[in-house]
Amino acid sequence: MFSRPLFMRTVKSNYKVLLIITAVLSFYLIMICAVFTPKALGEMMNFMENMGEMSNMFGSMNSVIGFIGQGYYGMIAVMFPMIYCIVVGNKLIAAQVDKGSMAYLLSTPTKRNQITITNGIYSALSIAAMFAFITALGIGACSIFQPDELDIGKFLIFNLGAFLLMFAISGICYLSSCIFNQSRYSIAFGTGIPLAFFLFKMLAESSEELSFFKYLSLNTLFDPNGILMGESFALKFCILAAVGLVCYIIGIRVFREKDLPL
């Protein structure tokens, strides 16, 4: 059910967005690897002491991996890939239906399952490629700026967790794209749900009184600070993988069976 020509067409249509987001992630990661110094750490610790309960959002920033975990994977490596998932998720299905290009595509021998499965594979593989590059870049940057200081094992876990969170988010965006025929609705739901997850986690980490918000967010299942503290993450990662896979499967079935305004 995989179509190589369609896959290459999808790559051509979305590679600029992928390159831009990856470039932004790369820039921030290199900057964070470069600025981790004892002086910078001391200033950060003084800043956190003055924040009271808000300092919970920054976790343990007392090492290179702690600095990267909280300063990068706590927000940057979630926020920008989430934007990618939202934009590309809508373009893969809903935008094509909305613009009428889906009607042309389905007038060819290409079947609905070929379209959804191929585009779903592109979505997952592009996110995997993004984090594979970031993993290699981070290890390389730390070997230059912070030789022998990076805990590579935890760094790999961070990237796996961030990828699985984005896989789940992309599944939600893809499902939204398959359900709705108009981009405005696809983007509304595909943006609203991931953004709510993001904000709920921030609220949960800002105060003990708001900690109940963590139960309303998928983002809670990727906790860099918890990983730094040695907490178990295997079940959380499995849940993220399952959510993403289920959303993609449901999206494929919904699009296959629904009526299209062709």
Domain-located, residue 141: yes
Query: How far apart are the C-alpha atoms of 153 and 169, rounded to whole Å?
Result: 24
Report how many domains make up the chain.
1
pLDDT at 79: 95
Structure tokens at 200: 């709920």
What integer best gives the mean pLDDT of the chain?
A: 88
| pLDDT tens for each residue of 180-196 | 988 899 999 999 999 99
* Angle at 91 (CA atoms; ends 90, 93), nearest 5 degrees: 75
Domain-located, residue 90: yes
Structural domain harbouring 66: 4-257
At residue 132 the predicted structure's pLDDT band, cuts being 50, 70 and 90, is very high
Nearby residues of 134 by Cβ (< 8 Å), 6 or more positions away: 22, 25, 26, 29, 77, 159
Query: Percentage of the chain with pLDDT > 70?
Result: 90
pLDDT at 61: 57
Distances (CA, A) of 228 to 157, 163, 234, 239: 10, 17, 14, 20
Domain-located, residue 118: yes
For residue 209, the 8-state DSSP code is: G
Q: Does residue 35 have a pLDDT over 90? A: no
Domain-located, residue 262: no
Domain-located, residue 211: yes
